[in-house]
Chains A and B, each alone.
Chain A
Amino acid sequence: MRHIDRQLDAPYLMRHKRTIRWLVGFLLLLHLAALLAGFLAPYSPTAQNREFPYAAPTRIHFVDASGHFHLRPFVYGMEQSSGDRQIYTADSANVHSLRFLVRGEGYSLAGWWKSNLHLFGVDAPGKVFLLGTDAYGRDQFSRLWFGSQISLVTPLVATVISLGMGVTLGAMAGFWGGWVDEVIMRIAELFLAIPWLYLLFAVRAALPLSISPVGAFLLLVTLIGTVGWARPARLIRSVVLTTRQQDFVLSARAAGASSGSILRQHILPQTWGVVVTQAAILIPQYLLAEVTLSFLGIGVPEPTPSWGNMAGSVQQYSILTSYWWMLAPVMVIIPVMYVYDRLAAALHEPVKSSA
């Protein structure tokens, strides 16, 4: 009753749509940024600076050591403090200006447009590590952007696979019923019963040891996507089962429409709401799955970054307690998960209300 009231409440609906717009806008922006990772990142994600493992984030200065203000921001050069290799001190005699739209290491955008233009950088031999460096002296900021390509695209593609399979099989089961329904639903139950993490371990163990990062990405996407089709399939089936008994479907049938046409034109459009809410639920789930698998070392291999394998390094207690910037991927995952969760809730509300 509450949902119905809300649905009828026009201001609520307005607010609701506005929230959805904001959330979708944020996600679109994030994905666009991931696409432009090569441009936003000052360095290659695999470039090692072996003199600077676990360097703290570089401070950007406007005022130099003698108190002079500089319009152009700058960073100081770093040097290892003697006696303790872990501590780097800023060398105030070594000033490197921060510049925008600089030429640097080459990269490709979406695999087809090659460039070496970066949003920002510092004069050589200076280095700017906005989020510090990891165990190999790699720039965390650059790795975070490049890692977002894997971590954000994997759940999208996996969701397409899951929903593609779920809609197809769910619609077939609901529409034709009988033995088709029996077979598909029993298989769906089997998939729901399988402990997927162990299944993924087993599949990974059975495959060749050496997989390229692209191969690992495709494998990951396929595995995650294939494992998750059962739940959306059951929901789609139930929608199809209800819809196929409705008058407009029966009329279309009576008018001599073919099964394919009825399914395509009359029944599948009714599943759209479920598909959208399922997508909003599955994407964050799969994002977390990628993070979990990479965290456990069976996702995308080093040196290719993903948020999961980047977060994997904080499994070590000493790193967790010493280098807060190593938590950067976790700090990014949390708001992204929150936004997806809010979006799923916002999309789900009208569906629940209309149910």
Chain B
Amino acid sequence: MRKLRLIVLLYVLAGAAAYGFASPPKDHATPEDLLTTHNPVGRRGGRLVVSQHAEAKTLNPVLAVDRPSREVLGMLNADLIHINRLTHRTESALAKSWKVSRDGKQYTLQLRRGIRFSDGEPFDSQDVTFSFQVYLDKKSNSSQRDLLMIGGKPIEVAALGPYAVRVTLPQPYAAGDRLFDGIAMLPRHLLEQGYREGKLGQAWPLTATPAQIAGLGPFRLKQYTPGQQIALERNPHYWKADSKGNRLPYLDDLVFLVLPTENAESPRFQAGDTDIISQVGVKLFEDLGKDASQKYRLQDAGPGLEYNFLVFNLNDDVAGRLPAIEREQKWFKDLAFRKAVSQAVDRQGAVNLVYRGRGTALASHVTPGNPAWMDSRLQPRPASPEQARKLLASAGYGWNSEGLLHDRADQMVKFSILVSSNNQQRTVIANLIQQDLTKLGMQVTVVPLEFRSFVQRVLETHNYETAVMGFASGDTDPNGEINFWLSSGFNHFWNLGQKKPATDWEAEIDGLMEKQLTTRDQKARKKLYDRVQQIVAEELPIVVIASPHILVGSKLKLKNFEPAILGPYTLHNVEELFWEE
């Protein structure tokens, strides 16, 4: 019996020893390389409740494409290099520092040592290489893959040691450090097996238990209540600390409450059930401001990056397929016609009516929210129907006895403006444009369509004449919009799927965008992008109208609240938010 006990003990010891040697070195002993923040020091505790218009669809960072999922995942995960939402500059995150090679192709990143995932497991370069392997793998169906492809080739990531990685770009890439923003680092210890078995797509659904999920963000999953809320709790291993060395975040809990409409959201905010209200419509913003008993502050963060515009259908593929639209394209392809439309639209009127002054009339697609890249020489012109009429008359258009406009072939100028009925503000813009164009004798109808039908017509079938749309890049850098401006880009709305540039000016934009992509000198890049803005303002494939301000609200007792014009507008510094006593 004693002999048996000895054998069992030896087995246990041998097993424990074998486990200790075989498993990756546990880094618990390495001192943590915490990032110190500089905002006012706060106090621990409390719960923050924020609302979302829709429920997140997944907790898997590889698959998430919808905004609610990304908002939640932003709280659960962290990136290597981060864009500061207030300064718009890159700053250290999981990578403590980085160096760029002279040719601009290699980034060497030094990782923070001793930091751990929310489940207590250490983070090192193996997690980084694994993360990029997953994102770049076609089978993962990750939306991040496109961002990590440069010139059609993937970036390469190699570990240089447990806390250093080298990222090699296929070609020099201006602002390459911005590539890393928003790319969540994944826990290899939890996801590698599923990935090898081809089951990564099934990992981390909303129904996953908290023990199955780990990240490097300020919070970790606590509880999911279907259709109602996602509750997160403080990550005790988070890698940031305040200036007094207190580990962040301050808040104990963060709750995302599903409130599908602004109509549902505002009473809950006024009642104090939610603590932050984000992307508030201007009407609601003003109404909230009238509440005398308010225990909240409302903030106008200024012009955002969103711009709303009228787009002409210049798609070449309608030829022979949609004869009515092909017929009307002869007006839309006429620069004088586009200029007349632009000249007739009352942009300041749109700002007054739609945004009640909390918006900006635009001359180009770069808004005043992005002063570093805006070509300030371009200024919006006041509406002038007279000038517009002169332009049309000089281009051979005429008016019948009833004052209705006809083209050179005596065809009446009659077309529709498509707009998403889900977006009230854009519907008002469309009606405003319609009214302005009626003054020119154009017969214009506004067609509000349910969002999916709208998208299908504009992006897939191209069965529309003109449309009012909005676009907002996630970054201030021009590269964030490259797919909008490149003639081959998947967001080149006015003429999608071009194999080669359809016009000379699109070819010029292609050249400028590609050149700025590889130019590392900031001034030279700005000059190139200024020229892009000038071409767009001259050629008018889109008639840019106005940009709304970012309007938010938060409870008065919530401190360190600093709304940004880059998303996430209110929670970008969630780890520093705290409740005043």
Q: Can you name 24 A-B pairs with beta carbons within 8 Å?
A: A48-B353, A48-B432, A50-B346, A53-B353, A53-B356, A84-B286, A85-B352, A85-B356, A135-B353, A135-B428, A136-B353, A136-B431, A210-B415, A210-B445, A210-B465, A212-B443, A297-B448, A301-B446, A302-B434, A303-B434, A316-B262, A316-B263, A317-B266, A322-B283
Query: Is there an interface contact between B283 and A48, defined as CB atoms closer than 8 Å?
Result: no
Docked complex Cα distance between A51 and B346 (Å): 12
Chain A residues lying within 8 Å of B432, measured Cβ to Cβ, are 48, 50, 136
B447 within 8 A of A: yes
Query: Is there an interface contact between A50 and B349, defined as CB atoms closer than 8 Å?
Result: yes
User: Taking the nearest CB of chain A, how far is it from the CB of B426, in angstroms?
Assistant: 13
Chain A residues lying within 8 Å of B453, measured Cβ to Cβ, are 205
User: Taking the nearest CB of chain A, how far is it from the CB of B326, in angstroms?
Assistant: 15
User: Taking the nearest CB of chain B, how far is it from the CB of A99, in angstroms?
Assistant: 27
- Beta-carbon contacts under 8 Å, B400-447 to A: 414-416, 418, 421, 424, 428, 431-432, 434-435, 438, 443, 445-447
- Beta-carbon contacts under 8 Å, B443-475 to A: 443, 445-449, 453, 464-465
Interface size, chain A (Cβ < 8 Å): 27
B357 within 8 A of A: yes
Chain A residues lying within 8 Å of B431, measured Cβ to Cβ, are 136, 302-303
Docked complex Cα distance between A299 and B4 (Å): 88
B281 within 8 A of A: yes
A321 within 8 A of B: yes
Docked complex Cα distance between A136 and B286 (Å): 17
Query: Is there an interface contact between B428 and A136, defined as CB atoms closer than 8 Å?
Result: yes
Docked complex Cα distance between A6 and B356 (Å): 61
Docked complex Cα distance between A341 and B448 (Å): 34
Chain A residues lying within 8 Å of B428, measured Cβ to Cβ, are 135-136
Query: Is there an interface contact between B353 and A319, defined as CB atoms closer than 8 Å?
Result: no
A115 within 8 A of B: no
Query: Is there an interface contact between B447 and A303, defined as CB atoms closer than 8 Å?
Result: no
B447 to A, closest residue via Cβ: A209
User: Taking the nearest CB of chain B, how far is it from the CB of A290, in angstroms?
Assistant: 18
A277 within 8 A of B: no
Query: Is there an interface contact between B353 and A210, defined as CB atoms closer than 8 Å?
Result: no
Query: Is there an interface contact between B421 and A297, defined as CB atoms closer than 8 Å?
Result: yes
Among A205, A317, A322, which residue has the most Cβ atoms of chain B within 10 A? A317
Interface residues of B (CB under 8 A from A): 262-263, 266-267, 281, 283-284, 286-287, 289, 346, 349, 352-353, 356-357, 414-416, 418, 421, 424, 428, 431-432, 434-435, 438, 443, 445-449, 453, 464-465
Chain A contact residues: over half helix, strand or loop, or mixed?
A: loop
A238 within 8 A of B: no
Query: Is there an interface contact between A51 and B266, defined as CB atoms closer than 8 Å?
Result: no
Query: Is there an interface contact between B424 and A316, defined as CB atoms closer than 8 Å?
Result: yes
B431 to A, closest residue via Cβ: A302
Chain A residues lying within 8 Å of B445, measured Cβ to Cβ, are 210-213, 301
Known pairs A136-B432, A303-B434; A50 contacts B352 (CB<8 A)? yes
Chain A residues lying within 8 Å of B421, measured Cβ to Cβ, are 297
Known pairs A302-B446, A303-B434; A86 contacts B416 (CB<8 A)? no
Query: Is there an interface contact between B283 and A319, defined as CB atoms closer than 8 Å?
Result: yes
Docked complex Cα distance between A146 and B428 (Å): 20
Beyond the given pairs A46-B435, A209-B464, 17 more chain A to chain B contacts, judged by CB atoms under 8 angstroms and listed by A's residue number, are A48-B349, A48-B435, A50-B346, A53-B356, A85-B286, A85-B352, A86-B286, A136-B353, A137-B353, A205-B453, A209-B449, A210-B415, A210-B465, A316-B262, A318-B281, A318-B287, A322-B283
Query: Is there an interface contact between A86 and B435, defined as CB atoms closer than 8 Å?
Result: no
- Beta-carbon contacts under 8 Å, A290-331 to B: 297, 301-303, 316-319, 321-322
